[in-house]
Structure 1
Amino acid sequence: MEKNPYSSKSCIISYNHDLDMPMCCREGECHHIYLRCERNFWCQWMFQFAHEYCHHLIDGELTGDISGLIWFEECVCELSSMYHLRNLALYSATSNQEHLLRYVPSVHSYLGERMDVGVELASETSHPGILHRWGTLLQEPKYQRLHYRAIAARMFPLFVENPHLWKIILQFGDMRQWSSPDELFQHLRHTETDDYSESLEKLRLLLLS
């Protein structure tokens, strides 16, 4: 994204001893990422951190209120986790460190588990316009984690094909301000740059046409 890590806002990262879930919240002028993993399960550490750091970069209100297009932010943050697990696998596979080479199958296995949403959901996402078909469900004021994962897995190849597409998250702002995916994509078209404009159109057609 041509952006230095932690350059937008200070961010504290710590272990969450109180809750059984990771989270990113606003604390004064900075963000606080809480992770909740099992010991040295590095795939889980990577998966959780990539998700929460994506929330940090989007820099919304982080109130916990599920309204507007918060569900789409969750999809993209889930996608971030998948994308960075892939990067971890690639890095480990080309490493000259034996312990990282041995770790590659575990990373691929964990990524496969996280992208698996079952035959029925995977089949539904294979058809264009999935966001319109799932619109009512996604707008309910509760997390639909499996559906977020299914959408993320469907978007995954486009972000692998063109990593510049990640720049769109810097244009999201508070996702509660958008009333529909169409409105968001209209905004993204106005703020796009040449290095990902074609990929953004592919993404729009995949999700909305």
Structure 2
Amino acid sequence: MNDTKILYLFLFFVTHVAFGQAKPHEWMNISGTTIEAKFIRADADTVTLFMNGRNFVVKLSDLKPDSQALARKLSTPETAIRPRPAAKEKKNFPEIRVIKADWGGASLRDIGKVLNSSARQLWSHASQEEFKPIIVDRSRTGPIVLFRRGNEGQYIVRLDTHKTFWSQYAFQFSHEFCHIMCGYKAGDQSNQWFEESLCETASLFAMRRMRKEWEEKPPYPNWKSYAPALEKYAQERLDSHAWRESLTVAEWYDNNKEKLKENPTDREKNTTIASKLLPLFEQCPENWGAVAFINIHKTKDSRSFSTYLADWRRACKLARDKEFVSELARMFGVEKS
């Protein structure tokens, strides 16, 4: 079979013509065939390329790793990113108070150092200007951020860990911190699985970034050697819930949507879909700013997932945040016309 036929087997024809970047790039599929084409766009599953006057959609899984990496890099070109005002020397960093409890001998100061480090990875991208203080207590029934607040509106987070298991502290706190960023509140649980999956993504995102921070500026000099363990903890979680490459996100959602409604905290499913959400935030951390608006329209009334995303998009204030939510709707195959 000649190269031209091979190329058209791994490219899927799209009927409309779009405008891409001026510079063509080399792309190689898994069978070793190389083409030159312009990059148009990419999502978690596919990349759209422009060649011979037409658009073609290619599954990322059909490309060599180097070409997959190129697609992810080009999906957030610097010229397309407008730094959000929140990135200016940011506001007031949230006060995190660890209270006395049975932490297995770990010092409150050390725990606070870990929690501040994990929150810092997310806070710099949040839309909010400030949070009420966060009080951190010990749990023995799983980590949680309570709906009940303190007397002065403080958030109450409970972590189910102890001793010096710093990776557990970081992972659990990042998850609950994400719920606070999402403006969590009571109401319909039909789409709670998605917020849980976002917060699982936040934990993975924070820990991979903490590794870099601790290598360069650890909380204490002698903690620098612990940096690789942070990323290893996140990677082991990803590896234990690996994505099946032949499956698109839309197919996965269609196969699991009823079970997701029934059990929104199914950590296996939360982590599985988090593996597909994570690249969207690692490529463009500003996307975390959009989560502040996810619960604006939440009530006791049940909503379909497509309506949930449409309401979220409507609540977003920045055009880039609206486009991010639209990208998610396309990725899950629930975009409203």
Fold shared, TM-score > 0.5 on shorter chain: yes
Equivalent AA in structure 2 for residue 99 of structure 1 = N
Is it true that 1:148 corresponds to 2:270 in the alignment?
yes
Is it true that 1:57 corresponds to 2:181 in the alignment?
yes
**Larger relative contact order (Cα-Cα within 8 Å, sequence gap ≥ 6):** 1
Report the counterpart of residue 119 of structure 2 in structure 1. none
Report the counterpart of residue 203 of structure 1 in structure 2. 328
Q: Aligned with 2:174: secondary structure?
A: helix
Q: CA deviation at 1:74?
A: 0.7
Q: CA deviation at 1:57?
A: 2.3
C-alpha distance in structure 1 between counterparts of 2:156 and 2:134, whole Å? 6
Q: Aligned with 1:34: secondary structure?
A: strand
Q: CA deviation at 1:167?
A: 1.7
Identity of aligned residues (%): 22
Cα 1:9–1:95 change in 2 (3 A) is closer
**Match among 153, 163, 177 for residue 285 of structure 2:** 163
**Match among 214, 217, 230 for residue 107 of structure 1:** 230
List gaps (5 residues or longer) in structure 2: 1-83, 95-129
Cα 1:196–1:172 change in 2 (3 A) is closer
C-alpha distance in structure 2 between counterparts of 1:5 and 1:134, whole Å? 38
C-alpha distance in structure 1 between counterparts of 2:194 and 2:264, whole Å? 13
Equivalent AA in structure 1 for residue 282 of structure 2 = V
Equivalent AA in structure 1 for residue 142 of structure 2 = M
Cα 1:176–1:135 change in 2 (3 A) is farther
Report the counterpart of residue 146 of structure 2 in structure 1. 25
Q: CA-atom RMSD, angstroms?
A: 2.7
Structure having the higher strand fraction is 2
Deviating beyond 6 angstroms after TM superposition, the runs of 4 or more aligned structure 1 residues are none
Q: CA deviation at 1:183?
A: 1.0
Cα 1:56–1:78 change in 2 (3 A) is same
Name the larger-Rg structure: 2
TM-score, normalising length from structure 2? Answer: 0.54
| CA offset digits 1:38-64 (Å, max 9, x no partner) | 3111111110100111112223235xx
Check whether the contact 2:192–2:264 (CA below 8 A) recurs between aligned residues. Answer: no
Report the counterpart of residue 105 of structure 2 in structure 1. none
C-alpha distance in structure 2 between counterparts of 1:110 and 1:72, whole Å? 22
Check whether the contact 2:188–2:301 (CA below 8 A) recurs between aligned residues. Answer: no
Check whether the contact 2:188–2:302 (CA below 8 A) recurs between aligned residues. Answer: no
**Match among 14, 37, 48 for residue 172 of structure 2:** 48
Q: Aligned with 1:27: secondary structure?
A: coil
Cα 1:8–1:196 change in 2 (3 A) is same
Equivalent AA in structure 2 for residue 123 of structure 1 = R
List gaps (5 residues or longer) in structure 1: none
| CA offset digits 1:45-101 (Å, max 9, x no partner) | 110100111112223235xx8822111111111111111001101112333775343
| CA offset digits 1:134-166 (Å, max 9, x no partner) | 111101146311001111111000001111111
Cα 1:116–1:43 change in 2 (3 A) is same
Structure having the higher helix fraction is 1
Check whether the contact 2:193–2:263 (CA below 8 A) recurs between aligned residues. Answer: no
Q: CA deviation at 1:37?
A: 1.2
Q: CA deviation at 1:12?
A: 1.6
Q: CA deviation at 1:177?
A: 5.0
Q: CA deviation at 1:133?
A: 2.5
Report the counterpart of residue 209 of structure 2 in structure 1. 87
* Greater Cα shift, 122-131 or 136-145: 122-131
Cα 1:193–1:84 change in 2 (3 A) is same
Q: Aligned with 2:249: secondary structure?
A: coil
Number of matched residues? 203
C-alpha distance in structure 1 between counterparts of 2:247 and 2:216, whole Å? 32
